Amino acid sequence: MLFQYIHHLAERFDHKKTLDQLQTFASTPEGAVGITAAVALVAGASYLKNKNNDRGCPKVPGSSVWGTSTEEYRADPKAFIVKWQNELGPVYHAELFGHTATVVSGSYVREIFLNDKFDFMAGLHRTFDNMLLTNCGPYEDLSAAHTSEVVKKFLSPHLKHFTPRVIEHLQQGLKAQTGEISAEGKQFPHVYGLVQHPVALASASVFVGPELSKNELLIDSFKNMVIDVGSELLPNPWLEPFPRLNRLRMWWVGKTSSTVKRHRGQLATALKPELDRRLKAMASNDSNWERPDDILQNLLEHYTPPKGMDTLNYMVNWMTQLTFAAIHTTSEGSTWVLYRLLQTPGLWEELYQEQNEVLEASGIDSSAGAEVFTREILNKFVKMDSVIRETMRARTAYITLPHINKSNEVVTLSNGAKIYPGESAYINVWSNHNDPSLQNSMKDLQQFKPLRFLDAEKNSTKIGEDFLFFGMGKHACPGRWFAVQEIKTIVALLLREYKLEAVGDLFFPEVESIPFPMGEFKIYPRKQVA
Ligand code: HEM
């Protein structure tokens, strides 16, 4: 009853007024105590409401008074997984993240990824809905299916064609970040700051074309929008049991945040003159106009704005969604790979050797610069590819990728576990990435071993139940070839010209709340120190 009552209230909110009131209320001591009590009650009520459901799989006896496990999990996700997997097996349920979650590992993950009744985007949007957060209108107007279609049609099959452009812009972006580097070397505080700019620039050169990628406002938004908007939504565990309230908060951020307004404004200012030019040329069939070769042009030709929306706003929405999918994810991936290279003695030079061998075998003198890289050559860097796959396998992804059962039926897995309508199945990524029976009997899976995939015929875009970094099934990341090629190119460009060394200790996180490693490093020019 209590559960229904609070959800009923959440549904009947006067959005604007209530959120203001709630914020004022929450900032008083009485408010804080009241809210904490309400959250505990809702979590407890959810537990009581669901506890009698037959779930066909064992349950984690929650460590809190309310039978919930989120705190235990967040304190040490790896210990949580090892303990409960040993005791309960590959599929169990727990009161996690404010609701009843079925945690799935082993081959059972297939039954989630490949079943259309489960929806990852709906699971993600419970806590992070980029359409709401960036005021992009209804999800149906620009869904993940739309973005996926565009990536599959207009990007992935044309990667070879885009490669020279991507290499050029990654190189340009790296140079802008490193500047001139003398023989004494130059110190940098964090890898993310080095790679974020080149990734944004290269992605922009493909999404909106080389000309528009010179626009500083646009690049600023491509680089920073995800982090700026994400920080408007600082983690708020007390909202977890209230998905509707959480969505209301995201809607509010999207509608009112000056950060969102600024980024949307920057994108609109940058895009408008170019859109006007293109639309005019298209309307008049101008024979002197050379059709631009980028994603924006394909969008203009194949997609129509929904009723009531102009082309400019529609294209701002598209660029926002592409940015959210592509740029931070790839920058974060590159950051992890470079920190692993900094961490492992001798690996930098081993990859440099590989690069020279590949170039020589392709008839290119090993003194050649980065201009000789092509998609074929990048694909021959098999040691580097193994480093990338191993970095992603060993990353801090634990119980994640929530998939909501969107159907009206109970889904029963082959081991009898039941997931009720509206409930979520979570993928136990860490378990699969560390399971010897899935990882070809490999040893020491909890260690980072950079070359373990060298002869394993598993490259870094090959998804499966043993490698879930890009998801699996028909919704698996369609941008993974682009992302991996960008990561490879960044490493290849740096290898060609520089040596990188850690300065002091590096820190590798073990909890999900810290997204990537940390530590200072120095860059030296290769030629002067060789
Ligand atoms: C290292 C970088 C990246 C990572 C780790 C990553 C990861 C993921 C994951 C885990 C999913 C969900 C898969 C599932 O539901 O099974 C996904 C979906 C998606 N990704 Fe990526 N991604 C990356 C880069 C990119 C890039 C560069 C693009 C576009 C150019 C992109 C576009 C998409 C799209 C459109 C979807 C939605 C697919 C659908 O729902 O059908 N991603 N990505």
**Residue whose tokens read 């889904």:** 411
Residue 492 is encoded by which pair of tokens?
Answer: 């290849």
Q: The tokens 């392709």 sit on which residue?
A: 362
CA–CA separation, 235 and 357 (whole Å)? 47
**Tokens 């003159």 sit at which residue?**
273
Task: State if residue 151 touches ligand 1 by the CB under 6 angstroms criterion.
Answer: yes
Q: Tokens for 521?
A: 């490093």
Domain that holds residue 284: 53-529
Q: Is residue 203 part of a domain?
A: yes
Cα separations (Å) of 453 from 349, 393, 462? 19, 11, 12
Distance CA(141)–CA(143), nearest Å, equals 6
- In this predicted structure, what is the pLDDT of residue 237? 73
Alpha helix stretches (DSSP H) within 139-190? 144-150, 159-178
Among the listed residues 238, 232, 246, 248, the one whose alpha carbon sits nearest the alpha carbon of residue 14: 248
CB count in 10 Å sphere of residue 23: 12
The amino acid that residue 389 corresponds to is R
469 lines ligand 1 (CB under 6 A): yes
The ipTM assigned to this model is 0.99
Number of domains in the chain: 1
* Segment holding 517, helix H or strand E: none
Residue 131 included in any domain: yes
Q: Which helix (H) or strand (E) holds 52?
A: none
Ligand 1 near 171 CB (within 6 A): no
Q: Is residue 343 part of a domain?
A: yes
Q: Which of 470, 482, 486 to mutate to test the pocket of ligand 1 (most atoms within 8 A of CB)?
A: 470
Collect all residues with Cβ–Cβ distance below 8 Å to 215 and sequence separation of at least 6.
270
Whole-angstrom Cα distance, residue 290 to residue 315? 20
- Cα 66 to middle of ligand 1, angstroms: 36
Q: What does the block give as tokens for 342?
A: 């900094």
373: which DSSP letter? Answer: -
* Site to substitute for ligand 1 among 328, 329, 489, most atoms within 8 A of C-beta: 329
CA distance 491 to 485: 10
CA distance 43 to 49: 10
Q: What is the dihedral sign for C-alpha 203, 360, 496, 340?
A: positive
**C-beta 468 within 6 A of ligand 1:** no
Q: Which CATH number characterizes residue 104's domain?
A: 1.10.630.10
Contacts of 451 (CB under 8 A, 6+ apart): 383, 386, 387, 390
What residue has token string 């590959």?
90
- The Cα 265–Cα 85 span in angstroms is 49
454: in domain = yes
414/153 Cα distance (integer angstroms): 35
Which atom of ligand 1 is nearest to 333's Cα? 1
8 A C-beta contact, residue 408 and residue 524? no
**Amino acid identity, residue 441?**
S
Phi and psi torsions of 347, nearest 5°:
-70, -35
Of 403, 477, 481, 484, best ligand 1 pocket probe by most atoms within 8 Å of the beta carbon: 477
Which atom of ligand 1 is the closest one to the Cα of 120? 15
Q: Annotated binding site for heme: which residue ranges? A: 477
Per-residue pLDDT of the chain (530 residues; tens, 9 = 90+): 222 222 222 332 232 332 233 333 334 343 444 444 444 445 555 555 555 678 999 999 998 888 899 999 999 999 999 999 999 999 999 999 999 999 999 999 999 999 999 999 999 999 999 999 999 999 999 999 999 999 999 999 999 999 999 999 999 999 999 999 999 999 999 999 999 999 999 999 999 999 999 999 999 999 999 999 988 887 677 788 888 899 999 999 999 999 999 999 999 999 999 999 999 999 999 999 999 999 999 999 999 999 999 999 999 999 999 999 999 999 999 999 999 999 999 999 999 999 999 999 999 987 888 788 999 999 999 999 999 999 999 999 999 999 999 999 999 999 999 999 999 999 999 999 999 999 999 999 999 999 999 999 899 999 999 999 999 999 999 999 999 999 999 999 999 999 999 999 999 999 988 889 999 999 999 975 44
Residues 345 and 336: their CA atoms lie apart, in Å, by 16
Q: 272 is written with which tokens?
A: 């408008």
Beta bridge mates, 119 = 404
Taking the CA of residue 484 as reference, the ligand 1 atom at the shortest distance is 1
Q: Quick check: is 285 in a domain?
A: yes
Residue 13 lies in a domain: no
Any domain includes 48: no
Ligand 1: centre distance to CA 267 (Å): 22
With respect to residue 3, please indicate whether it lies within any of the assigned structural domains: no
Q: What pLDDT score was predicted for residue 328?
A: 96
Residue 124 CA, ligand 1 centroid: distance in Å: 12
